[in-house]
Amino acid sequence: MVKFGYQRDSKSVYLRKNNFNQKISALIQRDLKAITDLNSFYALIVPTLIKLSLTGLLLIIFIIIWQPLAIFIPFLSIILIGLGMMALAKHGDKENARYINSFVHMGERFLDDFFEMNAIIMYRRDRAFSADFHRDSENFRKRTMAVLAYQLQTLNILDFAIYGGIGAFALFLSFGTAQGNLSVVQAIILFVLDADWFIEFRKSGYFIHVMKQLSPTLKHIFAQIDDKNSFSSQKKQRTIANDIPKILEITINNLSIGYDKPLITQLSWSLKIGHLYALSGQSGSGKSTLAKTLMAQQKSLAGEISFSDKKLRFDANFRHDWLKRAIYLGSEPYLFSGSIIDNLLFASKYDRKELIKIFDKFGLCSFVSSLPGQYDSQVGENGKWLSPGQRQQIAFGRAVAADKNFYIFDEVTSNIDHENAGIILRAMKRLAKEKIVLIITHKIEDLKQSDQIAFITEKKAVIGPYESLLKNSPSFKNLINQQFLLLKGNKQDA
């Protein structure tokens, strides 16, 4: 079964859109906050910088006139602060990177835990998983404490250098006064100017910190201001990418697919409305990889796929827009908590009434009439209050309701009972009258009902209807015999 990076039925399309909107809103809020911060920043920094320059100038003039030797103390402090900050910045970057890594690591494990819960429980890995999760959280806690400690340490060093500098200057002035080089009044004036200058300097350290934090956001804002056409050009790009015409036919021409090595080579096939197409072959022969390629998720090695005079591409824009026209459904789809109709209307082009009419026509979801709440019955978390076959009927119905042009059904009836599998197979046949439908299957009944089968054997596809493949392909005949034996065994077991 294919597991696409981000696509799980139409749920993930919704999540992606939602994510996109959330990202935009977060971006706008970030920019607005940056503008407010920038406003208060300028309100503070300009007076502070003016004061810093004037006090500094006055301090230097008085020192040069009254006590030239004292000049090295403030300079030395500043040099020490600069060097210290540079050394700490390196350490800080490392600490921050470790902190972010531990956060990402923990997040990834959480997502694995969340999405793969069933597998984790089924393989009795839940205890080990929770121990791993505990270790990651502990690591994250340690990293957070390390970053906080680093920040405190930085502040302490900064304060030590500044207040130490003020103290050393005071000592030097008292020494000068005691020796009679300076009057008490001169010493007090120099001390006040020096202390004031250092305190303002300390404040400007905070400004540098704010500026550093703001700079990526400001770059973004200024880039937007500079790029006068940014919005319209983005809009234009999206329009072009969105412009995927209705798929009336898919032509696969001399296609090779695979990863490091090819799995299927020189495949040429044409899929049209009005026929049910099946893709079959031994496990590992590359069926799911071909599905990924047809969903624009996995780049082909050679050859091309075209549709309505256009070429299928594998860039992110195309991939996103392709989902407007094409859909993939696997054997374990996800149902949302809510009612049956909520799930069906989730990505539907039709309203409730129209949808129920279509399902009657397709012979889908008739089990609903025996439920007390009918279409309003709750399905439970991931449809747990329904049987696997009923769940699959709803998932199939949801795909039909989404009204796409091209459907790939990957082993959708492999985990369900004979009766529900029959209902779905009939609905697939019905759907193939109006849409391009490709099913990935090894079931005899599905293969018999298909108008054309591409059977993958030794990296090549043998294409034809069921009877002709039985005659001409020994591997296909072998697969069918295996299936017969399996069916016979199942009947005897029952």
Interface residues with ligand ATP (CB under 6 A) are 1, 259, 263, 281, 283-289
DSSP code of residue 378: B
Rounded distance, CA 369 to CA 442, Å?
32
Rounded distance, CA 74 to CA 320, Å?
60
Please report how close the Cβ of residue 331 comes to ligand ATP at its closest, in angstroms.
Answer: 10
Of 123 and 259, nearer to ligand ATP (C-beta) is 259
Please report how close the Cβ of residue 5 comes to ligand ATP at its closest, in angstroms.
Answer: 10
Please report how close the Cβ of residue 384 comes to ligand ATP at its closest, in angstroms.
Answer: 25
Helix axes of 184-226 and 72-115: crossing angle, nearest 10 degrees? 40
Please report how close the Cβ of residue 305 comes to ligand ATP at its closest, in angstroms.
Answer: 16
Of 72 and 259, nearer to ligand ATP (C-beta) is 259
List the structure tokens of 69: 């030797």
Of 4 and 133, nearer to ligand ATP (C-beta) is 4
Of 286 and 383, nearer to ligand ATP (C-beta) is 286
CB 107 within 8 A of CB 133: no
Please report how close the Cβ of residue 284 comes to ligand ATP at its closest, in angstroms.
Answer: 4
Please report how close the Cβ of residue 242 comes to ligand ATP at its closest, in angstroms.
Answer: 28
Count the neighbouring beta carbons within 10 Å of the beta carbon of residue 312. 22
**Close Cβ partners of 11 (under 8 Å, ≥ 6 residues apart):** 334, 336, 346
Of 262 and 388, nearer to ligand ATP (C-beta) is 262
**Amino acid residing at 341:** I
Please report how close the Cβ of residue 313 comes to ligand ATP at its closest, in angstroms.
Answer: 19
Please report how close the Cβ of residue 281 comes to ligand ATP at its closest, in angstroms.
Answer: 6
Please report how close the Cβ of residue 263 comes to ligand ATP at its closest, in angstroms.
Answer: 5
Q: Pairing relation of β-strands 406-410 and 326-329?
A: parallel
- List, in sequence order, every residue forming a beta bridge with 17; answer none if it has no partner: none
Of 344 and 456, nearer to ligand ATP (C-beta) is 456
Residue nearest to ligand ATP (CB): 288
Of 262 and 338, nearer to ligand ATP (C-beta) is 262
Of 279 and 340, nearer to ligand ATP (C-beta) is 279
For residues 339, 340, 341, 345, the Cα torsion angle rounded to the nearest 10 degrees is 100
Of 102 and 288, nearer to ligand ATP (C-beta) is 288
Q: Pairing relation of β-strands 249-258 and 302-307?
A: antiparallel
Q: Which residues of 261-284 are buried (b: 16+ CB within 10 A; e: fewer)?
A: ebbbbebebebeeebbbbbbbbee
Rounded distance, CA 368 to CA 394, Å?
10
Of 1 and 146, nearer to ligand ATP (C-beta) is 1
Rounded distance, CA 279 to CA 447, Å?
9
Q: Which of 369, 414, 363, 367 is nearest to 387 (CA)?
A: 367
**Taking the CA atoms of the chain, what radius of gyration do you get in angstroms?**
35
Count the neighbouring beta carbons within 10 Å of the beta carbon of residue 299. 11
CB 267 within 8 A of CB 313: no
CB 296 within 8 A of CB 290: no
Of 1 and 211, nearer to ligand ATP (C-beta) is 1
Please report how close the Cβ of residue 477 comes to ligand ATP at its closest, in angstroms.
Answer: 18
List the structure tokens of 335: 């149902």
Burial of residue 218, with CB atoms counted within 10 A of its CB: 0-12 exposed, 13-18 middle, 19 or more buried? middle
CB 375 within 8 A of CB 352: yes
Of 293 and 390, nearer to ligand ATP (C-beta) is 293
Please report how close the Cβ of residue 264 comes to ligand ATP at its closest, in angstroms.
Answer: 9
Residue with tokens 């099913």: 439
Please report how close the Cβ of residue 494 comes to ligand ATP at its closest, in angstroms.
Answer: 25
